[in-house]
Structure 1
Amino acid sequence: MTVRSYRDLIVWQKSMVLAADVYWLTREFPKHEEYRISGQMIRAATSIPANIAEGHGRGTRKDYAHFVSIAKGSVAELETFLLLAIDLMLSKKEHITPVLDLAEEVGRMLNALRRRLNERGPGDTSAAPQHLNPRAQNL
């Protein structure tokens, strides 16, 4: 299956769900956290699909892999904030844990995508592959 758009990527789709989940989760946080951890969590979460999209649009494997790495860093940042939110009891643990689980899944998918982008096939130079749909790659 050919990827015509970053929107075809399962990892992008899941990262969009993750970003929306973070928006909903942070609504439960105390009001005084609105410009503290909530804002940082939202920025980290929205950075993930945005970097996947930007990297896909760049057109080279090297650029794409770079932006996937940035997205992976945002996942790690978000996971840290989610763990801190549990420790600070900003929301019920059972509300945070599924979001943390999804963040970990997206992180694993990004690792697999980055590995795939760093592979070089016969005669491959720097063009981004057209077959990065995670369904086709079992990501």
Structure 2
Amino acid sequence: MHQFKELGIWKKSRVFCSDIYSITTSFPNEEKFGLTNQLRRASVSIPSNIAEGSSRNSNKDFSRFLEIAIGSAYEVETQLIIASDLGFIDSEKLFLLSNQLNEIIKMISRFRSTLKI
């Protein structure tokens, strides 16, 4: 069992989630139950799955939750690109968020590869 609050991947993904919440406040009101909600839910899923997986008794189970967190990260990336296509975020913000997200994905992947399954 891992202490999720001590994991760098959890800390970074929590900050990223907060960034997503901040950026989506400027999205149009008609997107409140659309892209805004989807982005927020998917970004919350990343640290949530890391935390939930850390409570599991086996590294195999933890690895599965890390895999789900990576899937959520790719979901967020797709939604950010769509938000950019729709003009909700500019290309500079998309670039910064994508870099942040890619770093999280790499960190999760590296950490996952260290788990003895």
1:125 aligns with none
Which has the greater radius of gyration? 1
1:24 aligns with 22
1:38 aligns with 36
Percent identity between the two aligned chains: 36
Whether the 8 Å contact between 2:2 and 2:54 is mirrored in structure 1 is: no
4+ residue segments displaced more than 6 Å: none
Give the deviation of 1:50 after TM superposition. Answer: 0.3
**TM-score (structure 1 length as normaliser):** 0.79
Give the deviation of 1:113 after TM superposition. Answer: 1.4
Give the deviation of 1:11 after TM superposition. Answer: 0.6
| Residues 81 and 111 of structure 1, relative CA distance in 2, 3 Å threshold | same
What is the letter of the counterpart of residue 82 of structure 1? L
2:94 aligns with 96
Pairs within 5 Å for 1:1-139: 5-117=3-115, 119=116
C-alpha separation in 1, matches of 2:83 and 2:22: 14
C-alpha separation in 1, matches of 2:41 and 2:62: 20
Higher relative contact order (CA 8 A, sep 6+): 1
Give the deviation of 1:98 after TM superposition. Answer: 1.5
Structure with the bigger percentage of helix? 2
**TM-score (structure 2 length as normaliser):** 0.93
C-alpha separation in 1, matches of 2:79 and 2:20: 11
